[in-house]
Amino acid sequence: MKAKFRALRYKYRADFLEFYSEFTYLAMEAKIPEEDWREELFERLPDSIAKLALPCFLDDTRTFDEFVTHCSRTTSTIDTIEKNKDARTSARSGTGGGGTPSTSRGGTGTPARTPSTGRTASKTPALDATARSKLFTEGKCFTCQETGHMSRDCPKKPTQAVSQLKILERKENDEEEPEKDAA
């Protein structure tokens, strides 16, 4: 475990807090006294971060926790700088830019449909389930509500459906160009 602790290094651009939790775990396992943690941690930082963390490291008024926070901030600052550098380079080569615009598409719930009310009316009878079952038990036609035949045999049904379709078609044509009518 001690060897593992010695081998531990903060990898450049890694998650510092992840590194820190591994550091504390291995430090405890290796039974490193806590007063040495500060120095042990400092030695594991790459030069660029160690340089920035040095004043805090040398400042005796800072607690170990404060030093850790300082290191964490320093690494994330450096990461941000490096990432911005990357973004600039990739932007120059044309592949950069923000994330894909994901919010504009999709979930606005039910979109406002075309105002034609009866598009499916020729397929779905206007009667609700209760009325239909009532007519069914009474042996009446769903379409004309007369006895003696079923809805599918209804003599009034075909013409009704055709005329309904024609009405719908006319309605749709009217609604497609409302601006022309208005003008």
Count of residues in contact with Zn ion, rule CB under 5 A: 4
Q: Do residues 172 and 116 make contact, with C-beta atoms less than 8 angstroms apart?
A: yes
> x/- site string to Zn ion, residues 7 to 46, per CB under 5 A?
----------------------------------------
Q: How far is the CB of 149 from Zn ion (least distance, A)?
A: 6
Residue 140 sits at φ, ψ, to 5 deg, of -100, 160
The answer to whether 144 contacts Zn ion (rule: CB under 5 A) is yes
3-state secondary structure of 143: coil
The answer to whether 143 contacts Zn ion (rule: CB under 5 A) is yes
Residue 133 identity (one-letter amino acid): S
The answer to whether 75 contacts Zn ion (rule: CB under 5 A) is no
Q: How far is the CB of 180 from Zn ion (least distance, A)?
A: 40
Report how far residue 49's alpha carbon sits from residue 52's, in angstroms, rounded to the nearest whole number. Answer: 5
Q: How far is the CB of 129 from Zn ion (least distance, A)?
A: 18
CB atoms within 10 A of CB 182: 6
